[in-house]
Structure 1
Amino acid sequence: MKKWSIALVIACLGACEQASTPIQENILPSGVKFIEEVKAQSGKTVIPYKKYTLDNGLTVILHQDNSDPLVHVDMTYHVGSGREEIGKSGFAHFFEHMMFQGSENVEDEQHFKLVTEAGGTMNGTTNSDRTNYFQTVPANQFEKMLWLEADRMGFLVDAVTQEKFEVQRETVKNERGQRVDNRPYGRLNERVSEALYPAGHPYSWPVIGYMEDLNRVNVNDLKAFFLKWYGPNNATLTIGGDIDEQEALSLVNKYFGTIPRGPEVAMPEKPTVTVAEDRYISMEDNVHLPLIYMSYPTVSIRHEDEAPLDVLSSILGGGKTSLFYKNLVKNQLAVQASVSHPCAELACTFNLFALPHPASGKTLADIEKVIRDTLVEFEERGVEDDDLTKVKASMEASYVFGLQSVAGKVSTLASNETFKGNPNYIAQDIARYANVTKADVMRVFKQYIKGQHGVIMSVIPKGKTELIAAEDNFTPPLRSAGVLSKTSSEELVIRKAKDNFDRSVIPTSGANKAVEVPKMWQKTLANGIKVLGTQSIETPTTTLLLKIPAGHYYSDKEKAGVVSLLASALNESTTERSAEEMSNALQKLGSSVSISAGNQYLNVNVSTLTKNLDATLLLVNEKLLKPAFIESEFARNKSNAIQGIINNKKDAGYLASTAYRQLLQADNIASISSQGSEESIKSISLDDIKAFYQQQVKPFDSQLIVVSDLQEKALSKSLDVFSAWQGKGEKLSLVLAEPDTQTGVIYLVNKDEAAQSAIRIGKRSITQDITGEYYKSYLMNFALGGAFNSRINLNLREDKGYTYGARSYFSADKFSGNYTASAEVRADATDKSIVEFVKEIQAYHDNGITDEELSFMRNAINQKDALKYETPRAKLGFLAQILEHDLTADFVKQRANIVETITKEEINALAKKHLNIADMFMVVVGDAKTLKPQLEALGYQVVNYDI
């Protein structure tokens, strides 16, 4: 089912009125116009806000939320890849990168540095229709964020140099390599869009663009694109959080009010997309499993038929109650199958896909027939009452859960304003889905799917052309090869702001507001479950995490993966109801329950509206105490797990992580992923699952972390549902011996014709602690590889353009730990990347941290508190750490004191102790026949390694 991403919609229920400083129209700053105010209303679904426009056309939306001392700032420009020209693809995404590279008053990389040092988070995203930039920071850093956003809106062009252009072009190429070209099925959406949309349609090229387009253009083409689309009159600035509205509006006017308007731009037309006959296309890829993908054009975002089409996609392919699950997955014709209906501003598509199971012996043509037969079955089945009930319950839950973060509320307001000109569009969104009828769903099925034509894409393993659904009968028109651009700077019309203040002065920040650690309550249930909880009254929701000491480490190496298969079994049928009935019951409550295997724990995650808590916990209890352990379900999950492992071996990152894990550990359970290996999974029987369950899935010493709007007394009563669960599992006794892996060696894993190489450099290191050497080593590494502005990332990504991102980190549990530096790099820069990695690690080992880096680390770490406890999910993670390590909340102060007092000498001593490159080994995944002589030329012994 579609996730309701158009609006992370917020239910403002009951005590949700906002304290607000009223802004009178007659005292508005000059050049600011009040548009509207929407207030909170008890029992109504609404995000309160005030909306303004500046004389230059900038739309400003303010949402006051004083529940946490933080502010979220979102700048959304109504431009995406759908505003680009033929032959100039990728410009909008390219500017997502360029807008972080400094402007006239912001130095190169300073945007990242200032936000990180402020204890904040930041990012930018681009899609076909909009680009947004956002920061979440402690409230005292708000003005600085406005200064940064304004400078890149009004003062970017002259700072975009040819050198920056070249470096970011390489970064984009690396991003495409990592996310598209080097990933199994990575070019699927690109190929389908080329075939579905007519030549020149704004959605016929990928958001990331074609690299040959970026290679043809020059820096002035990029500047021209910016000057056309990134003016204030094509932007929405949305601010939410702990703000004084009057002050916020004055600051917005100060920093943005003098930026001149851009040219008036119009939205592209919405051309009707039709396909006269089925278009079959295919592609050979470095994959294990073939894939069939069928895509039909439908409507556009918020069209009246979007909602019933979403319901249709849920019935056909939304989870274990869907027809696709019944006809393709449950009977093991497919490893995976689903249906979706993603929507964008100009067009939506109805997509059906499946990965055939090799054991089924089915070709993609066979699977296509099953899919088409399933559509016929749906028409005969019709729409049932539960179909609509589940969708509406899911909507209600997603709306309420959207209230949990100020970022969610701000992004909803910004999106609604950008695409509808109305931030207050939530009620209409709710009504669209609440009013869907059975007749609506059948109508859209007959109008857009039944008898209609689309694109049928076959992705097949190389050399397996006999598996395709049908012979290709469509070839998209050739793209123009184009010529090198000759756009000159004289053709640009530069706009300049005229100010009465000095923009080069970085705004100062006041004192960081105190952040209260959540108030906690603790108890132990009669059956031995340790409970730690806190109340969070912002939303009527409850989130739980149950950690049962029955993780991967409790199993034998020869049976690695048994816990993962057990988790799959617990997500299937119980003795009381089938897997489909269980899924149906949870969906009707709008609740989420997932069971997964970790190294030390079997984890049960639960999210529910509090009004449905008791009903949800009854189902959780049933899953845990009454698993059916049906042979056919076990066989399907086991077979799918094996196919997943084989398929993962086509992914460079998986190969690198697997080889690295094996080399870090001796021949023990930790050398294998909790998902197991192909060999270990094959050896596991249903009796093994049952035996492990009987031995280990017990309540004693389990940990239950709860965040709810309920008080302790009421919540404790709900937890009584677990009282019948009794028993104590075996204690874990585990020693992870050091391996005999050679240091100073490169272990080379082959991946034929890899567009990128995956690199891991590291060694075994110290085990985890909370306030000791492990934590201090994390602080030590921060400047080297722990932040965007770290030495490693700035070198390999920003200076050299070898990678989309590089990092280093310590990772550990109580049994073992490691230090790792990693990146996915351009294949032709593999050897050069290793040289730079070694240079940076060795230099930090030899010379240590600088005074500036030490100050940066202290500020960045100690100002994060405002973001640590905002949402129930964040609180859950914080409390889980306390319960697992038997801490008091005082550990937060202890860590803050360590950050504040750790000396340069102590950090440098830790660097010398832990960062000796001679103690490390390397794993490289890439095209061995090309890489081996290059790596040997660096002077390393290169060992071919198979996993």
Structure 2
Amino acid sequence: MNRLSILFAALLLAGCAPEESSTPSTKTALPEGVEFVEQVASQAGKTVIPYHKYTLSNGLTLILHEDHSDPLVHVDVTYHVGSAREEVGKSGFAHFFEHMMFQGSENVADEQHFKLITEAGGTMNGTTNSDRTNYYQTVPANQLEKVLWLESDRMGYLLDAVTQEKFEVQRETVKNERGQRIDNRPYGRLYERVAAALYPDGHPYSWPVIGYMEDLNRVDVNDLKAFFLRWYGPNNATLTIGGDIDIEEALVLVERYFGAIPRGPEVAKPKKAPASLEEDRYISMEDNVHLPLIHISFPTVRIRHEDEAPLDVLSFILGSGKTSLLYKNLVKSQMAVQAQASHPCQELACTFNLLALPHPASGKSLADMETVIRATLDEFEKRGVQDDDLTKAKAQMEAGFVFGLQSVSGKVSQLASNETFTGNPNYIEEDIARYNNVTKADVMRVYRQYIKGNHAVIMSVVPNGQADMVAKKDTYTQGKRKGIDSVKLVKEEDLKLRRAEADFDRSVIPTAGANRPVDVPEMWRNEMANGIKVLGTQSTETPTTSLLLKIPAGHYYTSPQKAGMASLLAQMLSESTSKRSAEEMTKALEMLGSRVSVYADNHYINVSINTLSKHLDATMDLVAEKLFEPALLPDEFERRRSNAIQSIKNNKKNASYLASTAYRQLLHDDNIAALPGGGTEQTLAEMSVDDVKAFYEQHFLPAKAQLIVVSELDQKALEPHLTSLAKWEGKGPELAIELPVPAVEAGTIYLVNKEDAAQSAIRIGKRSLTYDVTGEFYKAYLMNFPLGGAFNSRINLNLREDKGYTYGARSFFDGDLLSGNYTASAEVRADVTDKSIVEFMEEIRNYADNGITAEELAFMRNAINQKDALRYETPRAKLGFLAKILEYDLDPNFVEKRTEIVKSISADEINSLAKKHLNPDDMIMVVVGDAETLKPQLEALGYKVVNYDV
């Protein structure tokens, strides 16, 4: 990863180490089998993550972070195993286990892990990369014991529950994930191909994390079990718990549930293995893309090498944002629609990557792109490193670090990662020092050592049938992978099983105590003389201020002929002002570490502002300049407009985009809502900068605007910082729009062609309820929850877990004050498109006809009503909560009303809503896939099939 985005505490922390203790607090009694390692305490004025570290006798490392700011806990179990630990010919096992670990264990039934966490009001997931796998849950604090029971059961009691049948289902799920995220996505195989050319055959990074499907097809469940036995012992794991916990109670619970799990085989740290190239390797690939792409990858060092930090700064200078050299030479000049540099680092090796997509109007080829990129490197060498380069980079790191501490999950993840890869949860102090100490000479040295004159993998991705567009004819061809013909499969008798013996009945699910009270954030209100309504709350956990300004000038305020206008204006507000160029404005914000983004939705142009509170005044001055003094220059407009058109063309290679676009058009009838917020090729082509100026003058005004604020400052201290917004004057026109239901033919499949698609994108639904907070829309949301609103909903369990048709399927009600819809959606294997539609319709019809079960009703009530602890934790969550109150003019007690609705809604009312809103015969279907293959299959289902163009 590029640590510029997540590390550094600059002057706030420089030179100050946290207070450490070599003995535990005298009040902490250690359970037998638990050994204290160290304590790092917080100190006033210093930003550290306090923790206690322990080890269990079986080798499990335990880190506890006590934080009582919110009544929730985050639990992370990180295993030091990723795809780099796999054998040649058995790729994808680490990622496969990410799936298998959710499929039940000896005392946890199939799908019960998801059910219990969701029912507890929590969230959960797992992730795998080349170097580690982690599983994590955020839950209300009273659910900690249940989470530890679940995590320990799959660590110590998994294998008896891993069957060949489960293996087969999850193998199909992994194939669907690969199809959705890689094979069916433009440029999806880019990094897989680059890695295979960059690293020698058999190198741990030479295969993709998700694995080669032929490897997964070759092996069986015993191979998977052997992998688990080798790597998933407690001595190769770190358990990190953060949040509203009591240290002594947590220690007792951890020892109870994890202490009896046997130690696994010893695990040595992997050897660092940066790549090395003796010559440039040109490779290429044809893909279903609109724009060609060039990607240049230089091998460098490995994570936390002394040269990682200066290489990160180099990538920032060359290709991060509008002040970078690649932006100046390629994007601003309109030679490319995108250009960037990055320095992603992994445990064993890092790469320095440069990427560009040429703009078709420039007439430049990928060979031209390579020439300009290499000329930019030469320019950098002549230019050198400027003072501002280091200041900007370090300011961005400071802000990124501080904002990363706003959630307990962010703090726990930092502790877990540092422990896993360094053995020191407090390694952040060393990270800060090495970035803070980067000098100009360091950056120039690493450029000359790793980039200048060095060899790289140069990858060209070109549209299908246009192989002549590559930057250079291939000079490297990946040979057949060695060793896969002699892969030895594991027999059941070869498994060296370990069994944990608990001294209590592990089949009993721990019961949770009462929910700890969750306070709705205390709010203050104001209305400026110019009509801006303000709603704010104080949050003192980090020295930051976040604001969201919503101006009523969104997509719906434009005509169908000018679709995309609001989006283009939002983009132009991030360009030059009357006082500064876009690059100068970006530089000014980067020097502060502040982040300002402007974007449009259906109703509003939104301005998101995040800053360290010490820079609030300076940031707000820059925001005022962006908003009230935009230059709206013709050349910047033309670049933005042209890039938007290319983005639309590129998106049309994406099945999900095509499905959502067609579905939107069919749900609306010849009005602005039928058109995408970003516009169409035609509307953008006919738009001028004068149109944008006129829209700005007429609509970008403060009356009825909304400002939501979450800050460490209270109202009295904050309001003086908002005077620049108070001086703004004017009132735009009222929104005058109707969105009638179109006369589309229900029961029809609208088929959008995407040739040779590995997966089909499906949307099923109809126009439905408009949004409300405590009325029928909200009750319909509750009704749909067991059908398609959770991981263990009927739809997802059927299509993903039972049939293996998809990586995920869902259904939902969506809407605003003007319109709404009910939608069921999934990306499915192309060969089961027709079968998937059958299953979708049968699930919806069965639920409408037969209703909710008593178990589902109880599950829904528990899941919805125990989420409160997660709703208000971070400033971002608080912004969203307050924004809803302001937009819909709600009394804060709407939360209590919703809670009462969830408690009191009956099965009869839910079933009545299901019959009313879930008649499949009222719905249309959109399918995106290979039309020639799919049309006869879909017609065989008995539906009318209409070819549809987007």
TM-score class, shorter: over 0.9
Counterpart among 273, 278, 289 of residue 275 in structure 2: 273
Q: Check if 1:560 corresponds to 2:570.
A: no
What pairs with 1:377-392 in structure 2 (closer than 5 Å)?
A: 377-392=379-394
Q: Check if 1:744 corresponds to 2:755.
A: no
The C-alpha deviation readout for 1:814-868, integer Å capped at 9, x for no partner, is: 1110000000000001011001000100000100100000000000000000000
Distance in 2 between residues matched to 1:597 and 1:782, nearest whole Å: 29
Counterpart among 762, 765, 769 of residue 766 in structure 1: 769
- Please report how far the alpha carbon of residue 487 of structure 1 lies from its aligned counterpart in structure 2 after TM superposition: 2.1
Residue aligning to 2:639: 636
Counterpart among 68, 78, 97 of residue 70 in structure 2: 68
Q: Aligned pair count?
A: 945
- Per the alignment, do residues 260 and 5 of structure 1 end up closer, same or farther by CA in structure 2, a change over 3 Å counting? farther
Q: Check if 1:293 corresponds to 2:295.
A: yes
Distance in 2 between residues matched to 1:375 and 1:500, nearest whole Å: 64
Residue aligning to 2:185: 183
Letter of the structure 1 residue corresponding to residue 378 of structure 2: V
Letter of the structure 1 residue corresponding to residue 883 of structure 2: A
Counterpart among 221, 224, 227 of residue 222 in structure 1: 224
8 A Cα contact 2:3 2:312, kept in partner: no
8 A Cα contact 1:81 1:93, kept in partner: yes
The C-alpha deviation readout for 1:448-487, integer Å capped at 9, x for no partner, is: 0000001000000011112110000101221255378642
8 A Cα contact 1:518 1:534, kept in partner: yes
The C-alpha deviation readout for 1:863-890, integer Å capped at 9, x for no partner, is: 0000000000000000000000111110
Q: Check if 1:375 corresponds to 2:377.
A: yes
Q: Check if 1:667 corresponds to 2:673.
A: no
8 A Cα contact 1:217 1:484, kept in partner: no
Residue aligning to 2:527: 524
State the secondary structure of the residue aligned to 1:794: helix
- Please report how far the alpha carbon of residue 737 of structure 1 lies from its aligned counterpart in structure 2 after TM superposition: 1.2
Residue aligning to 2:595: 592
Of the structure 1 ranges 666-675 and 721-730, higher mean CA displacement relative to structure 2 is found in 721-730
Residue aligning to 1:602: 605
Counterpart among 125, 135, 138 of residue 136 in structure 1: 138
- Please report how far the alpha carbon of residue 27 of structure 1 lies from its aligned counterpart in structure 2 after TM superposition: 3.1
Residue aligning to 1:355: 357
Residue aligning to 1:859: 862
Distance in 2 between residues matched to 1:847 and 1:272, nearest whole Å: 60
The C-alpha deviation readout for 1:250-290, integer Å capped at 9, x for no partner, is: 10000000000000122222234211111000000000000
- Per the alignment, do residues 619 and 265 of structure 1 end up closer, same or farther by CA in structure 2, a change over 3 Å counting? same
8 A Cα contact 1:575 1:628, kept in partner: yes
State the secondary structure of the residue aligned to 1:287: coil
Letter of the structure 2 residue corresponding to residue 64 of structure 1: E
What pairs with 1:500-511 in structure 2 (closer than 5 Å)?
A: 500-511=503-514
Letter of the structure 1 residue corresponding to residue 290 of structure 2: H
What pairs with 1:509-908 in structure 2 (closer than 5 Å)?
A: 509-908=512-911
Distance in 2 between residues matched to 1:482 and 1:765, nearest whole Å: 56
Letter of the structure 2 residue corresponding to residue 134 of structure 1: Y
- Please report how far the alpha carbon of residue 527 of structure 1 lies from its aligned counterpart in structure 2 after TM superposition: 1.1
Distance in 1 between residues matched to 2:592 and 2:946, nearest whole Å: 55
- Please report how far the alpha carbon of residue 6 of structure 1 lies from its aligned counterpart in structure 2 after TM superposition: 6.3
Residue aligning to 1:263: 265
Residue aligning to 1:455: 457
Residue aligning to 1:245: 247
**TM (normalized to structure 1)?**
0.98
- Please report how far the alpha carbon of residue 3 of structure 1 lies from its aligned counterpart in structure 2 after TM superposition: 5.2
Distance in 2 between residues matched to 1:17 and 1:732, nearest whole Å: 58
Counterpart among 348, 357, 375 of residue 346 in structure 1: 348
Counterpart among 498, 502, 520 of residue 501 in structure 2: 498
State the secondary structure of the residue aligned to 1:482: helix
Distance in 1 between residues matched to 2:363 and 2:469, nearest whole Å: 10
Letter of the structure 2 residue corresponding to residue 808 of structure 1: S
Distance in 2 between residues matched to 1:545 and 1:178, nearest whole Å: 33
Q: Check if 1:324 corresponds to 2:326.
A: yes
State the secondary structure of the residue aligned to 1:430: helix
State the secondary structure of the residue aligned to 2:842: helix
Specify every segment of 5 or more residues in structure 1 that has no aligned partner in the other structure, as ranges: none
Distance in 2 between residues matched to 1:228 and 1:474, nearest whole Å: 36
State the secondary structure of the residue aligned to 1:79: coil
- Please report how far the alpha carbon of residue 4 of structure 1 lies from its aligned counterpart in structure 2 after TM superposition: 4.1
Distance in 1 between residues matched to 2:896 and 2:155, nearest whole Å: 39
Distance in 2 between residues matched to 1:811 and 1:733, nearest whole Å: 21
- Please report how far the alpha carbon of residue 2 of structure 1 lies from its aligned counterpart in structure 2 after TM superposition: 3.5
Letter of the structure 2 residue corresponding to residue 441 of structure 1: V
8 A Cα contact 1:858 1:900, kept in partner: yes
Residue aligning to 2:115: 113
What pairs with 1:189-200 in structure 2 (closer than 5 Å)?
A: 189-200=191-202
Distance in 2 between residues matched to 1:26 and 1:570, nearest whole Å: 56
- Please report how far the alpha carbon of residue 776 of structure 1 lies from its aligned counterpart in structure 2 after TM superposition: 0.3
Distance in 1 between residues matched to 2:944 and 2:485, nearest whole Å: 45
Residue aligning to 2:153: 151
Distance in 1 between residues matched to 2:13 and 2:540, nearest whole Å: 12
Specify every segment of 5 or more residues in structure 2 that has no aligned partner in the other structure, as ranges: none
Distance in 2 between residues matched to 1:533 and 1:602, nearest whole Å: 19
8 A Cα contact 1:39 1:48, kept in partner: yes
Letter of the structure 1 residue corresponding to residue 86 of structure 2: E
Letter of the structure 1 residue corresponding to residue 572 of structure 2: A
Letter of the structure 2 residue corresponding to residue 434 of structure 1: N
Distance in 2 between residues matched to 1:209 and 1:796, nearest whole Å: 23
8 A Cα contact 1:216 1:482, kept in partner: no
8 A Cα contact 1:216 1:485, kept in partner: no
- Please report how far the alpha carbon of residue 41 of structure 1 lies from its aligned counterpart in structure 2 after TM superposition: 1.5
- Per the alignment, do residues 369 and 25 of structure 1 end up closer, same or farther by CA in structure 2, a change over 3 Å counting? same
Distance in 2 between residues matched to 1:644 and 1:631, nearest whole Å: 20
Distance in 2 between residues matched to 1:160 and 1:422, nearest whole Å: 34
Distance in 2 between residues matched to 1:823 and 1:616, nearest whole Å: 42
8 A Cα contact 2:536 2:709, kept in partner: yes
Letter of the structure 2 residue corresponding to residue 492 of structure 1: L
The C-alpha deviation readout for 1:331-386, integer Å capped at 9, x for no partner, is: 10000000000000000000000000000111100110000000000000000011
**TM (normalized to structure 2)?**
0.98
Distance in 1 between residues matched to 2:537 and 2:330, nearest whole Å: 43
Distance in 1 between residues matched to 2:271 and 2:399, nearest whole Å: 35
State the secondary structure of the residue aligned to 2:485: coil
- Please report how far the alpha carbon of residue 317 of structure 1 lies from its aligned counterpart in structure 2 after TM superposition: 0.3
Distance in 1 between residues matched to 2:755 and 2:719, nearest whole Å: 57
Q: Check if 1:93 corresponds to 2:95.
A: yes
8 A Cα contact 1:65 1:240, kept in partner: yes
Distance in 2 between residues matched to 1:4 and 1:387, nearest whole Å: 13
Q: Check if 1:929 corresponds to 2:932.
A: yes
- Please report how far the alpha carbon of residue 26 of structure 1 lies from its aligned counterpart in structure 2 after TM superposition: 8.4
8 A Cα contact 1:316 1:324, kept in partner: yes
The C-alpha deviation readout for 1:30-55, integer Å capped at 9, x for no partner, is: 11110000110122331110000000
